């Protein structure tokens, strides 16, 4: 974008290192909290300035106020999604927090093997390592009965990380925790332009459905699940928001279903009606007569 007569239009590039003012930070903090539950505590000003500064310049805005106005006036919601995207850290890995996958193999899968169908929700799935880890684990335990029986719903607020997750392509260094047998069975090695990368085979991609979802919005329409993974996202929320999110997650559990949280998180001080099973594992009371499979 250029000014009249060839003069350069001033942009935030002229002052790339300028931190947000207290007023600007307060506006972003409130917007992020109201729309996504993200709690940008005091002390995050420099981080927010760095992440949004680049984003603002890329949009060609001449001021923070212009950028903020674009975000709140965008009826598509895409500008807001991009803002939240810029503020969140999407760090994850395959088989992160291995104790949960031990629980999956030793407790959950044997308990629910005779179900007609098993739906699992990977909430805040980030770039997809968690749902693909679930798919590999289930295929290793249940083999040929898994396809058609298991559906893993993977959701996240970020359209950017969901797009990467759906592609299912990752650099080789991400696979350090996988055995050679797992890598050979479930992943295709890239060649030429894709050398140094691996792509998920159809066998595991077929078990996973990716969908955008904001945990602060109503989630009842997605159904009920015997297992919900929601790990390492509530650390970004304050207690009232954690309470709201946990209530919604618990409401999506089937009787006897399990909620798995991050080991750095706990539900202390949150009313949820779930029974503590082991660190970062909680269970909803089973229904009388046991569980029934989905049709």
Whether 260 is covered by a domain: the verdict is yes
Specify whether the CB–CB gap between 283 and 261 falls below 8 A. Answer: no
Would you place residue 2 in the very low, low, confident or very high pLDDT band (cuts 50, 70, 90)? Answer: very low
Same domain, 35 and 54: yes
Q: Pick from 282, 215, 223: which is nearest to 252 by CA?
A: 223
Among 24, 54, 87, residue at a domain's last position: 87
Please state, as a whole number, how many other Cβ atoms lie within 10 Å of the Cβ of residue 205: 19
Same domain, 129 and 210: yes
Whether 293 is covered by a domain: the verdict is no
Give the three-class secondary structure for 197. strand
Whether 131 is covered by a domain: the verdict is yes
Q: What is the mean pLDDT of residues 25-46?
A: 85
Q: What is the mean pLDDT of residues 33-55?
A: 82
Distance between CA 32 and CA 90 in Å, rounded?
16
pLDDT at 7: 42
Looking at the 3D structure of the chain, how many domains does it have?
2
51 labelled catalytic? yes
Among 57, 87, 117, residue at a domain's last position: 87
Give me the percent of the chain exceeding a pLDDT of 70: 91
Whether 122 is covered by a domain: the verdict is yes
Encode pLDDT of 212-240 as tens digits: 999 988 887 899 999 999 998 888 888 89
Same domain, 254 and 142: yes
Same domain, 102 and 140: yes
Whether 246 is covered by a domain: the verdict is yes
Whether 92 is covered by a domain: the verdict is no
Does residue 293 carry a pLDDT above 60? no
pLDDT at 13: 46
Encode pLDDT of 235-289 as tens digits: 888 889 999 999 999 999 999 999 999 998 888 889 899 999 999 999 999 987 6
pLDDT at 163: 93
Same domain, 261 and 215: yes
Same domain, 258 and 143: yes
Q: Which of 29, 119, 156, 205 is catalytic?
A: 156
Specify whether the CB–CB gap between 166 and 155 falls below 8 A. Answer: no
Q: Which domain does 228 fall in, by range?
A: 98-283
Structure token pair of residue 122:
């990977």
pLDDT at 138: 97
pLDDT at 219: 86
Same domain, 142 and 270: yes
Encode pLDDT of 59-90 as tens digits: 888 888 888 999 899 887 888 888 887 887 66
Q: Which of 39, 51, 59, 224 is catalytic?
A: 51
pLDDT at 291: 56
Whether 291 is covered by a domain: the verdict is no
Structure token pair of residue 245:
């999110």
pLDDT at 36: 82
Q: Report the residue count for the chain.
A: 295
Distance between CA 139 and CA 133 in Å, rounded?
10
Encode pLDDT of 124-175 as tens digits: 999 999 999 999 999 999 998 999 899 999 999 888 889 999 999 999 999 9
Same domain, 104 and 14: no
- The CATH number of residue 57's host domain is 1.10.155.10
Whether 93 is covered by a domain: the verdict is no
> Is pLDDT larger for residue 18 or for residue 45?
45
Does residue 208 carry a pLDDT above 90? yes
Same domain, 72 and 124: no
Same domain, 105 and 22: no
Same domain, 104 and 28: no
Among 53, 87, 121, residue at a domain's last position: 87
> Is pLDDT larger for residue 91 or for residue 198?
198
pLDDT at 17: 46
- The CATH number of residue 109's host domain is 3.40.50.150
Same domain, 174 and 276: yes
């Amino acid at each position: 974008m250029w000014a009249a007569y060839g003069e350069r239009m001033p942009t935030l590039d002229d002052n790339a290192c300028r931190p947000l003012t207290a007023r600007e930070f307060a506006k972003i903090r409130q917007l992020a909290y109201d729309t996504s539950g993200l709690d940008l505590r005091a002390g995050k000003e420099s981080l927010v300035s760095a992440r949004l500064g680049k984003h603002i310049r890329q949009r060609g805005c001449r001021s923070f106020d212009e950028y903020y106005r674009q975000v709140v006036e965008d009826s598509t919601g895409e500008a807001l999604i991009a803002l939240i995207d810029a503020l969140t850290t999407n760090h994850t890995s395959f088989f992160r927090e291995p104790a949960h996958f031990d629980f999956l193999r030793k407790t959950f899968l044997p308990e629910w093997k005779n179900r007609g169908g098993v739906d699992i929700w990977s909430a805040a799935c980030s770039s997809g390592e968690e749902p693909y880890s679930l798919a590999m684990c289930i295929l290793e335990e249940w083999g040929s009965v898994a396809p058609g029986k298991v559906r893993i719903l993977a959701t996240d607020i970020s359209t950017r990380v969901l797009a990467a997750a759906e592609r299912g392509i990752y650099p080789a260094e991400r696979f350090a925790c996988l055995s050679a047998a797992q890598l050979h069975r479930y992943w295709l090695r890239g060649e030429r332009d894709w050398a140094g990368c691996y792509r998920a085979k159809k066998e595991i991609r077929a078990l996973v459905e990716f969908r955008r979802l904001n945990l602060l919005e109503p989630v009842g329409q997605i159904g009920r699940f015997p297992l919900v993974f929601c790990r390492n996202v509530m650390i970004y929320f304050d207690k009232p928001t954690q309470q709201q999110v946990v209530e919604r997650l618990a409401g999506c559990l089937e009787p006897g279903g399990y909620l798995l949280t991050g080991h750095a998180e706990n539900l202390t001080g949150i009313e949820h009606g779930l029974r503590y099973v082991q660190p970062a594992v909680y269970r909803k009371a089973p229904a009388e007569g046991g569980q029934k499979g989905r049709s």
